[in-house]
């Protein structure tokens, strides 16, 4: 079992920055893909970013150039640095983990997820 706890959300003005953390426990995330998703009120869950176990990273087009994902396996933590935030980035952000031995997982179904952290960007 993997337990995930997100933190770092909050209220920020447009153009500001936040860094979200996803702290894992129970197992090492070294062989897990970890993804960030978000869900705004009345909208579907949306992919934001992913880091595979081999270190490859992916970003949704809507956040490219503004967000960066990174992982620190020694700390069992994945980070999402969010810069140049926009009101449309407002959502609950969730991190999710999926076993990824080969470093190739690219699906949307994950095995573990956290409780989420609220990000609110004011205009």
Nearest to 48 by CA among 27, 29, 69: 69
At 107 the pLDDT is 85
What is d(CA 98, CA 107) in angstroms, rounded to the nearest whole number?
9
At 90 the pLDDT is 98
What is d(CA 2, CA 97) in angstroms, rounded to the nearest whole number?
8
At 24 the pLDDT is 97
Nearest to 18 by CA among 29, 9, 26: 9
Average pLDDT of the chain, as a whole number: 96
Phi and psi at 73, nearest 5°, equal: -65, -30
Give the rounded percent of residues in the chain with a pLDDT score beyond 70. 100
Residues of the chain with pLDDT under 50: none
At 108 the pLDDT is 82
């Amino acid at each position: 079992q993997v337990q995930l706890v997100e933190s770092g959300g909050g209220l920020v003005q447009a153009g500001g920055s936040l860094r979200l953390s996803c702290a894992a426990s129970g197992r090492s995330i070294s062989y897990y893909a970890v993804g960030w998703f978000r869900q705004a009120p009345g909208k579907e869950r949306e992919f934001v970013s992913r880091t595979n176990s081999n270190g490859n990273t992916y970003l949704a087009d809507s956040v490219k150039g503004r967000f960066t994902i990174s992982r620190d396996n020694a700390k069992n933590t994945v980070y999402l640095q969010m810069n140049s935030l926009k009101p449309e980035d407002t959502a609950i952000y969730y991190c999710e983990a999926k076993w990824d031995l080969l470093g190739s997982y690219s699906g949307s179904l994950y095995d573990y997820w956290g409780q989420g952290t609220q990000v609110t960007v004011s205009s």
